Amino acid sequence: MNSWPQRREATGQRAWPWIASGLMLSGLHVVLWLVSSRFGSDTPVGERPVLSLTAILLLGGWVLLVTVYLTRLEARSRVILAWMVVVGVGMRSAMLVSTPMLEDDFYRYLWDGGLSANGYNPYTHSPAEVIRGSARVPDPLIGLARSGHPVIGRINNPEVRSIYPPVAQGLFALSYALRPWSLHAWRCLLLVFDGITLILVLTVLRSLGRSDLWAALYWWNPLVIKEVVNSAHLDVACIPFVFCAVIWALRGKAVPAAVALGLGVGVKVWPVVLAPVVVSCAARHGKRLLPAIALFLGMVGAMAALVYASGMDGSSGFSAYAQRWERNDALFMALRWGVESVLRVLSWNPGSAGLISRALVGAALVGWIGWVCRKPAVDPDETWQRCLSILAAVFLLSPTQFPWYYVWVVPFLAICPRGSLILLGVLLPIYYLRFHFEAQGRQWVFDHWIVWLEYVPVWGVLWWECAGGKGFYQKVLRGKPF
Give residue-wise pLDDT tens across range 64-100: 998 888 776 666 678 889 999 999 999 999 999 999 9
Question: Residue 312: what pLDDT?
Answer: 81
The pLDDT assigned to 74 comes to 61
Q: What is the pLDDT of residue 163?
A: 92
pLDDT < 70: residue spans in the chain: 1-14, 72-76, 285-286, 468-482
Helix (H) or strand (E) holding 226: none
Residue 17: per-residue pLDDT: 84
Cβ atoms of 400 and 371 within 8 Å: the answer is: no
Residue 384's closest CA among 232, 278, 268?
278
Q: Would you state the pLDDT for residue 14?
A: 65
Residue 398: predicted pLDDT: 94
Q: Whole-angstrom Cα distance, residue 378 to residue 206? A: 19
Say which residues have a Cβ less than 8 Å from residue 340's Cβ, sequence separation at least 6: 350, 353
Cis peptide before 100 (omega within 30 of 0): no
Q: CA 20: distance to chain centroid? A: 27
pLDDT the model gives residue 16: 81
Query: What are 301-326's pLDDT values in tens digits?
Result: 999 999 888 888 878 888 888 888 89
Alpha-carbon distance of 466 to 419, in angstroms, equals 11
Q: How many other C-beta atoms lie within 10 A of the C-beta of residue 349?
A: 9
Residue 189 CA to residue 9 CA, distance in Å, equals 42
